[in-house]
Chain A
Amino acid sequence: MAGVRVLVGTKKGAFILTSDEARKKWDVAGPFFGGWSIYHMKGSPADPNRIYVSQCSDWFGQIIQRSDDGGKTWYQPGGEVKIDFTGQPAGASNKFVYEGDPGQHQWYDGTPHPFEFKRVWHVEPHPKNPDIVYAGVEDAALFKSTDGGVSWKELPGLRQQRSAEWAPGAGGLGLHTILIDPNNPNRMYGAISAAGAFRSDDAGESWKVITKGLKSQYIPDPNTEIGYCVHRLAMHPSRPDVVFMQLHWNVMRTDNAGELWTNIGEGLPSDFGFPVEVHAHEPNTVYVIPIKSDSEHYPPEGKLRVYRSRTGGGNWEALTNGLPQQDCYVNILRDAMSHDTLDSCGIYFGTTGGQVYVSPDGGDHWQAIVHDLPAVLSVEVQTLK
């Protein structure tokens, strides 16, 4: 019987929400890793029982957790208790060391600041091989594991894209988005706040800046390539050259793999927001959640509205059925929106107020699965068939 498994990372632990195809009744498991910030958790498309988790803490640093049984049990790959002291390098699963000289990026005041690893923002399992997984980290860099998360190695090509000019956004300098074309895993997209968007056509070895057409009101030079606060990217697997972007200001679209971006945000109540998502079966159906900017970071007018465009941008319609339409002042973070691939595509998002919402009909009707979790940092959905 088909169903869904929703992986929810929160500020104080992880939760797994499961339901059948109807998505009306839900089982809630967790908290896992209670007290730790779970920036992201994601299952392998090639082996849905393989789930990777980024678990972190200001006190104890970064941990990578892995499950091989769909989240029933967890362990740190390569971190087992040693009876003897030979074999794999000890505890390397949370060892993220930059290649060579770490170099410097710009600090908030424009002065040089050394790259320092802080945490993993995003884990992205390879679409075909469950033992290959990528990690987007702060300070921004791309790491890759080919042994199921036991050890990690930086792919330094990304930071060779003028990283001395990268500067952190308010949340830090994180590589927060990694998209992989499931039909051609050599094609990858990455996004960094506040550096920009990047594309690789050789599985992350080398990268190209793809920011032409982006505009930010505090970057007066329209030819500037670096410095854009890209919040999120999304694409449909059937059209890997078409990518949607929630930029700090504006929602953007490219039809040529990032060679040129155009603004598709006309008609939204705010040009700001964090997540962007694409319908599983309708490549031209796009979702965003407008948020009031710059400093408030809650829904305009206290109304929680998902906006849907069925035309690949523009013609936005507000989706409100089942969502609070007064006194709602939560935020929805960039990794906290996802979808399933059931016949009637489900759309999901989590809020900083601890709610996780689902629409089992592509956004027409919404219900809260849970109301009172810790602040939600990430939501990923696995469709189990």
Chain B
Amino acid sequence: MSDVRVQLPFHLQNLARVGSEIVITVSDPVTADSILDEVERRYPMLCGTIRDHVTKKRRPFLRYFVCQKDFSHRPTDEELPDAIKAGNEPFIVWGSLSGG
């Protein structure tokens, strides 16, 4: 089990009524899927806001960042670096495109 830091965009912080960063406990292996599964279980109001309810595909205007790298197009069942598992780096969900 790992305590993983997750950073959420402003509007999702408001929906979940949390600050910019939450800490959740995730079973191994720690992947984008397992992190987001746990986020949605703990904060069900975020279901459907990051990933599609049914397909679990990332919403198009959001991005996942891991250790300063864009992991948005990486397989979501890929095990994430140790820095995420150790809590040294956050898993970042980012609203990537500006709307003018």
Contact = CB atoms under 8 A, between A and B. Distances in A.
Given A59-B59, A60-B11, A76 B48 contact: no
A81 B43 contact: yes
Given A60-B11, A85-B41, A95-B53, A90 B61 contact: no
A79 B53 CA distance: 14
Interface string A76-99: 101111100100001110110100
A169 interface: no
A62 B9 CA distance: 16
Interface string A54-83: 000111111100000000000010111110
Interface residues of B, number: 26
A289 to B, nearest CB: 27
Interface string B6-22: 00011110011100000
Interface string B53-70: 110000101100000000
Interface residues of A, number: 22
Contacts of B99: 58
> Which residue, of B12, B15, B40, B44, has the highest number of chain A Cβ atoms within 10 A?
B44
Given A76-B15, A81-B16, A81-B17, A61 B44 contact: no
Contact of B11 (A57, A82, A92): A57
A91 B12 contact: no
Given A60-B49, A94-B48, A95-B47, A82 B95 contact: no
Contacts of A57: 11
Contacts of B16: 81
A91 B17 contact: no
A269 interface: no
A60 B60 CA distance: 9
Contacts of A78: 44
Contacts of A63: 15, 45, 49
16 contacts: A36-B11, A59-B59, A60-B9, A60-B11, A63-B49, A78-B44, A80-B45, A81-B16, A81-B42, A81-B43, A82-B42, A85-B41, A90-B40, A91-B40, A95-B48, A97-B54
Interface of A: 35-36, 57-63, 76, 78-82, 85, 90-92, 94-95, 97
Given A79-B44, A85-B41, 6 more contacts: A59-B59, A60-B95, A61-B59, A76-B15, A94-B48, A95-B48
